[in-house]
Amino acid sequence: MAGIKDVAAAAGVSVATVSRVLNAHPSVSEDARARVLAAVDELGYRPNAVARSLRTAQTRTLGLIISDVMNPYFTELARSVEEQARALGYSVIIGNADESPRLQDDHVRTLLDRRIDGLLVSPTDGGSPQLLDAARAGTPTVFVDRWIPGVDVPVVRADGRSAVRDLVAHLHALGHRRLAIIAGPAATTTGSERVAAFRAALGEYGLELPEEYVGQGDFQAESGRRATEAFLALPEPPEVVFAADNLMALGALDAMRARGLHIPDDIALAAFDDIPWFVHTDPPITAIAQPTRELGRAAVRALTALIEGRRVRSVTLPARLVVRRSCGARSDAAAPPSRPRPRSNP
């Protein structure tokens, strides 16, 4: 493969001049520029990014560590990140952590070895030593979706509280009073936050969230199935099951069907995270949609800003309720219900 020296020789100039032309340095004569460009074209020369990286100490590569690529939410996030990164001239190396801190550490280490310019992470519970070291050591880092409390790293995420409130209002208006939730792992921020938001929203309607109406899940379908079965075995089962992520909602759906229940007449179902498939299930599932594409874009923007040395603040985007038929709504409309009148006791 042709190198910069070959180009220099072919154009009858020095390598310095070639480099200047390629990097749009101002002081190059029009004549030299033309000859270099011609030589580049003729030889099909492409600069070696590895050599360039060594010299400039930047790779124009971002590392993205995700907890579960098979989860459509994260898939979409990854896609959006890759897209935006490419638009800004960055490549993305993806690592799947599979909810394992060990694997996450492994990825952080290889990414650091490869001298990526920045790290985008949706951390597993509590994070992992390598990750924390990297962040503290000054590697430009941005958390997306999940974050680690107490670590000084910008976070890009969606705030579901208002959407959860809308959801509860919607459910309440439909006459539901016994609402249950399938929570994610308590150690993840998204896991605990969603439960808190749900409980708070219920409180506004004077509703309780009893212990037995909080199922413990792990963001995987199977755990949603198990939690739902436990709910259904209760002397007084809930009228609504709200799953804290899309996979658990799917598991819940299975469990309900296995019991021969009709949705939404016998029991209602709602989910956090909207995914394309929820339109195609029977019935279509009411869900809280995160602005996933925007999150990915914002995360990359924040990270590149950080890389360029600018100061960056965390970004929080609102999630919104998408009403479908799984809770008993008459229409398919996506309009959020009107604001609840807080503390209107039943």
Residues that bind DNA (CB under 7 A): 1, 3-5, 12-20, 22-23, 26-29, 31-32, 47-48, 51-52, 54-57
Name which of 3 and 340 has its Cβ closer to its own copies: 3
**Nearest by Cα to 315 from 342, 333, 297:** 297
Return the residue of 69, 173, 174, 200 that touches its own copies, per CB under 8 A.
Answer: 69
* Binding window for its own copies (CB under 8 A); candidates: 31-39, 119-127, 146-154, 276-284: 276-284
Q: What's the CA gap between 44 and 187, in Å, rounded?
A: 53
Report the partner that residue 281 touches, choosing among its own copies, DNA, none (CB closer than 5 to 8 A by kind): its own copies
Q: What angle do CA 179, 212, 263 make, to 5 degrees?
A: 40
Q: For the range 73-78, what are the long-range contacts, defined as Cβ-Cβ under 8 Å and sequence gap of 24 or more?
A: 73/245, 73/246, 73/273, 73/275, 73/290, 73/292, 74/122, 74/145, 76/275, 76/292, 76/293, 76/296, 77/122, 77/144, 77/145, 77/292, 77/295, 77/296, 78/296
Task: Determine if 87 is a binding residue for its own copies (CB under 8 A).
Answer: no
Report the partner that residue 254 touches, choosing among DNA, its own copies, none (CB closer than 5 to 8 A by kind): its own copies
Task: Determine if 15 is a binding residue for its own copies (CB under 8 A).
Answer: no
- How far, in whole angstroms, is CA 238 from its chain's centroid? 30
Show the tokens assigned to 286: 């009411």
Name which of 12 and 210 has its Cβ closer to DNA: 12
Report the partner that residue 316 touches, choosing among DNA, its own copies, none (CB closer than 5 to 8 A by kind): none
Task: Determine if 100 is a binding residue for its own copies (CB under 8 A).
Answer: no
Q: What is the DSSP letter of 279?
A: G
Q: How far is CA 13 from CA 75, 213, 290, in A?
A: 48, 76, 55
Task: Determine if 308 is a binding residue for its own copies (CB under 8 A).
Answer: no
DSSP 188-254: SHHHHHHHHHHHHHHHHTT----GGGEEE--SSHHHHHHHHHHHHHSSS--SEEEESSHHHHHHHHH
* Binding window for its own copies (CB under 8 A); candidates: 6-14, 111-119, 187-195, 231-239: 111-119
Report the partner that residue 56 touches, choosing among its own copies, DNA, none (CB closer than 5 to 8 A by kind): DNA
Show the tokens assigned to 237: 């089962």
Report the partner that residue 277 touches, choosing among its own copies, DNA, none (CB closer than 5 to 8 A by kind): its own copies
Name which of 263 and 306 has its Cβ closer to its own copies: 263
Q: What's the CA gap between 48 and 338, in Å, rounded?
A: 58
CB of 175 to its own copies, least distance (A): 25
Return the residue of 17, 19, 84, 96 that touches its own copies, per CB under 8 A.
Answer: 96
Bridge pairing between strands 91-96 and 118-121: unpaired
Q: What's the CA gap between 346 and 338, in Å, rounded?
A: 18
With CB under 8 A as the rule, give the number of residues binding its own copies. 45
CB of 135 to DNA, least distance (A): 21
Return the residue of 7, 11, 19, 72 that touches its own copies, per CB under 8 A.
Answer: 72
Site for its own copies, rule CB under 8 A:
46-51, 53-54, 59, 61, 69-70, 72, 75-76, 78-79, 82-83, 86, 91-96, 106, 109-115, 221, 250, 253-254, 257, 276-277, 279-282
